[in-house]
């Protein structure tokens, strides 16, 4: 049996794992879906004071409170920043068994979520943050969603706290590399803001890369394929 800690990306929440968690349970595993401060059912806590450190603390608190060991820590999209920070700050290597970057940001020391984005994307998001303090949700069509799935995600998404966008993450790579690292590459359609990360994990040693032919929200568009991949990584 393995413990999974599932961390959603921007504009999401624990709700986005709804189609994956039952399969993890049925396979005999435990799953803890974290909702980061300021979004989804925790949107009432939205504040300019929320930073990347806040979200790292959210996940560290779950690992500590549940007394997890050998957990599979999964970070989707923006949460690649979060799980990297968690891995760097965990004092005990036994807390985790594997890091999984699900179509996620894979930062270098000092980089921010914004670092891998095109200048136009950076400018648009920084303008939104300057005007409202948040980044408005993206159109789910960018993630290959349509019909019921598009409507569900559009209805559930909430604005992303702006304080996490340009926050640099200092960390020691050797600490993050204490565990096996996997990258799940969602290729159809491939999200442009993850393009640099796809190249990075294929160029750096030590990465295990798996491809799923679906869009950026595989937990919604291809839950069976994602579940199969996660179960294989837990073996």
Q: Could you tell me if 101 and 75 are in contact, meaning their C-beta atoms sit under 8 angstroms apart?
A: yes
Alpha helices in the chain (DSSP H): 21-26, 52-65, 79-89, 119-132, 147-156, 173-176, 195-203, 218-221, 223-233
Output the domain CATH number for residue 201: 3.40.50.1820
CA–CA dist 107, 169 (Å, integer): 8
Number of structural domains the chain divides into: 1
Our answer to whether residue 77 is catalytic in this structure is: yes
- Report the pLDDT value the prediction gives residue 1, as an integer from 0 to 100: 85
Q: Percentage helix, strand, coil, to 5, in the chain? A: 45, 15, 35
Q: Quick check: bond before 118 cis, omega within 30?
A: no
Q: Which residues of the chain have pLDDT under 70?
A: none
At 30, phi and psi to the nearest 5? Answer: -105, 145
CA distance 176 to 170: 12
Q: Inter-axis angle of helices 79-89 and 52-65, to 10 degrees?
A: 60
pLDDT of residue 235: 81
The set of residues, in sequence order, having a beta carbon less than 8 Å from that of 143 and lying 6+ positions away, is 153, 189, 191, 215, 216, 217, 221
Q: Which two structure tokens, joined as six digits, stand for 138? A: 């993206």
Residue 66 is part of which domain span? 3-233
Whether pTM > 0.85 for this model: the answer is yes
- Among the options 77, 112, 182, 221, which is catalytic? 77
């Amino acid at each position: 049996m393995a413990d999974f800690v599932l961390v959603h990306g921007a504009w999401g929440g624990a709700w986005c794992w709804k189609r994956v968690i039952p399969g993890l349970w049925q396979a005999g595993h435990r799953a803890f879906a974290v909702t980061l401060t300021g979004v989804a059912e925790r949107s009432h806590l939205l504040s300019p004071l929320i930073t990347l450190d806040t979200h790292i603390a959210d996940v560290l608190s779950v690992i500590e409170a549940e007394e997890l060991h050998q957990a599979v820590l999964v970070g989707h999209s923006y949460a690649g920043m979060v799980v990297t920070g968690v891995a760097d700050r965990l004092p005990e290597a036994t807390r985790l068994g594997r890091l999984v970057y699900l179509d996620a940001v894979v930062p270098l020391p000092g980089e921010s979520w914004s670092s891998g984005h095109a200048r136009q994307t950076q400018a648009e998001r920084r303008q939104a943050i300057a005007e409202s303090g948040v980044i408005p949700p993206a159109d789910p069509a960018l993630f290959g969603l349509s019909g019921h799935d598009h409507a569900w995600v559009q209805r559930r998404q909430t604005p992303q706290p702006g304080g996490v966008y340009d926050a640099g993450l200092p960390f020691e790579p050797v600490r993050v590399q204490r565990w096996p690292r996997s990258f799940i590459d969602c290729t159809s359609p491939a999200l442009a803001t993850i393009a640099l990360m796809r190249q990075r994990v294929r160029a750096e040693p030590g990465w295990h890369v798996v491809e799923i032919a679906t869009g950026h929200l595989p937990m919604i568009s291809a839950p069976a394929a994602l579940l199969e991949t996660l179960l294989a990584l837990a073996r």
